[in-house]
Amino acid sequence: MSKSSQNLMAGAGILTLAGIIAKILSAVYRIPFQNLVGNTGFYVYQQVYPIYGIGVVLALSGWPLFISKIITEQTDNERKQLVARRLFWLLFIISFILFMFVYGGAPLIATGMGNDLKLIPVIRAVAWMFWFMPFLAVGRGFAQGQLNMVPTAISQVIEQIVRVGIIIGVAWWGVHAGWSVYKIGSWATAAATFAAMLATLYISRTIKLVWQTPITKPVKKERAIGWIRIFQRLWSEGNLLAMLTGLLVLLQLVDSFSTKGLLEVNGMSSQAAEYAKGVYDRGQPLVQLGMVLATAVSTSLLPVLRSHAVRKEDGDFIHDFQMMLRLSLILSSVATVGLIAVMPAANQVLFSTREGSQALMVFVLTIIPATLILIITSVLQSLDYTRGVSWFVLLTMIVKYILNMIFIPQLGIVGASLATLLALVPMLYFVLHRLPKKLRRQWHSQNWWYKLMTTLLVVLLTAGLWGWASDKLMGASRLASLFSLITSALIGIIMFIVMIWRLRLLSKEEWYALPKGYKLYHFLERKGNSCD
């Protein structure tokens, strides 16, 4: 492997690690926050969170990925810097428009979010974050385009740590000072702006490099890097990457504009609907946690796939893609089944009550299609097979809204969870069929599905039955639920490992692709040989 390839792989590893840390922080902080502010306070924060989420997707993944791609295409530093400068000013204009729309349109947005006008200051608090998006997107994208992943990785971790720290601190202080949940929500969403400011300060050295070299007039007049051409590519390629990365955030946005009002149609008072929406929003961190391991494994394999694609190593590309698909499906499935098995206890331990456990069981089923959509669209991007995908993202949002209108008045928050799950099905079907046939052909061995379903059933029954028995023996207090959760999870993990080993669901190569999988493989092999 060449030195540049080794640098790329090392950089991808740093970026993957930073992404995992950020995802865990993003999922975990909601638990103490909800415990401090309660379900209604959690509802206030989660109503506005999708606006922040869209900004993060644009500044962290969608735009930087596109910028890194277009920077890499340039032949010299002069052209790279000119493209980065023009992208900065285009993004500055877009950010200004987004700020004006969110800040100025806060009353209209709050009206759309269940006619809750108390959300206006909360929405306006998050709007200021958009001013930092051009700096973060161009700084990160310019560095990535030169195969330097460190600025992106460190700025990402800084941003999350600062934001999470402020949010938890504000929640604790606000509760003890007797603040309203809306005042706490305003300061919690403002944390995104302070975090973005500090991340921008860190990445400012990289941003300075964009203005380092004077640009000559002949380069400025090149049509391939002209203003119009760059804007066209930003609109088509950059926004597509952002939409794909932020699919779940976009579905949360649909919920923010529809769930509370539809719960009121079901006969709930405004306060009861806010409380129920807060219970429903418990599903978001659970889904994020459930996706961490599967997406971590798949993102670690993506640079290898891109390397095969560049070198036109078709056989290796097919082999590694199919292995990634199998591992992602296995890990996302067992995470889903495990969460369903321990849900009542997990709900009480994490969020203090068992309310909404049925809705959360349905909600976590979205882990499987969401994980598969994420990794398959990443592969489609590397192959330039993304035509039509953006329309399906919009279709998914429309389907989600229609299903919300059908299910929520009848089933409450269970209906909202079901709507999210079913809305992802057409998108999953589409991206699977956008894959070249050679990638889908013979991607699993004989009896593979039987082995997987048997494994999942054993995990569900053993962990679920132990949780049920634990409740009967020890009661359903929070402390008893903690014991039930830990022991049920351990039983589920042990049974999962035993089943995939006994049924030979994973090959040796697939074991090695898992974190510390090679150690576990050799441990099980030694145990198996000693028992023979």
Residue 421's pLDDT is: 95
Per-residue model confidence (pLDDT) at position 69: 77
Q: What are phi and psi of 526, to 5 degrees?
A: -65, -45
The arithmetic mean of pLDDT across residues 105-116, rounded, is: 88
Instruction: Tell me how far apart the alpha carbons of residues 338 and 147 are, in angstroms, rounded to a whole number.
Output: 38
For the chain, the average pLDDT equals 84
pLDDT band at 465 (very low <50, low <70, confident <90, very high): very high
Question: Stretch 451-477: mean pLDDT, rounded?
Answer: 89
Longest dimension (CA), the chain: 80
More confident residue, 515 or 369: 369
Least confident of 105-109, 126-130, 300-304, 452-456: 300-304
Distance CA 350, CA 286 (A): 10
Residue 475 neighbours by CB distance under 10 Å: 11
Higher pLDDT, 267 or 127: 127
pLDDT above 80: residue 67: yes
pLDDT confidence of 301, banded at 50, 70, 90? low
Is the pLDDT at 441 greater than 90, yes or no?
no
- Residue 42 pLDDT class (50, 70, 90 cuts): confident
pLDDT beyond 80 at 296 = no
DSSP 182-236: HHHHHHHHHHHHHHHHHHHHHHHHHHHHHTSSPPPHHHHT-GGGSHHHHHHHIII
> Among residues of the chain, what percentage have pLDDT more than 90?
28
pLDDT digit string, tens, across residues 399-428: 999 999 999 999 999 999 999 999 999 999
Closest Cα to residue 210, out of 131, 132, 137?
137
Residue 201's pLDDT band, with cuts at 50, 70 and 90, is very high
Least confident of 35-44, 256-265, 348-357, 373-382: 373-382
Residue 73 in this model has a pLDDT that exceeds 70: yes
- 302 or 488, which is more confident: 488
First to last CA, the chain: 41
Nearest to 116 by CA among 169, 208, 185: 185
Return the closest-CA partner of residue 219 out of 72, 75, 366. Answer: 75
Q: What is the mean pLDDT of residues 470-499?
A: 87
Contacts of 394 (CB under 8 A, 6+ apart): none
Residue 439 has pLDDT above 90, yes or no: no
Q: What is the pLDDT of residues 144-170, one digit of tens each?
A: 777 777 887 888 888 889 999 999 999
CB contact burial 9-42 (16+ within 10 A = b; e otherwise): eebbebbbebbbebbbbbbebbbebbebbebbbb
Instruction: Please list, residue by residue across 420-455, b when 16 or more beta carbons sit within 10 angstroms of its beta carbon and e when fewer do.
Output: bbbbbeebbebbeebbeeebeeeeeeeeeeebbeeb
pLDDT at 442 over 80: no
Q: Which amino acid is at 175?
A: V
pLDDT of residue 310: 65
* 365, pLDDT greater than 70: yes
Residue 358 confidence (pLDDT): 93
- Is the model's pLDDT at 5 over the cut of 70? no
Distance CA 129, CA 341 (A): 39
**488-512 pLDDT, tens digit each:** 999 999 999 988 888 888 888 778 7
**Tell me, what's the pLDDT at 4?**
46
- List pLDDT tens digits, range 370-405: 988 888 887 887 777 777 787 888 899 999 999 999
Q: How confident is the model at residue 10 (pLDDT cuts 50, 70, 90)?
A: low
Query: Which amino acid makes up residue 153?
Result: A
Q: Is the pLDDT of residue 461 over 50?
A: yes
Q: Residue 254 pLDDT > 80, yes or no?
A: yes
Q: Say what the pLDDT of residue 1 is.
A: 45
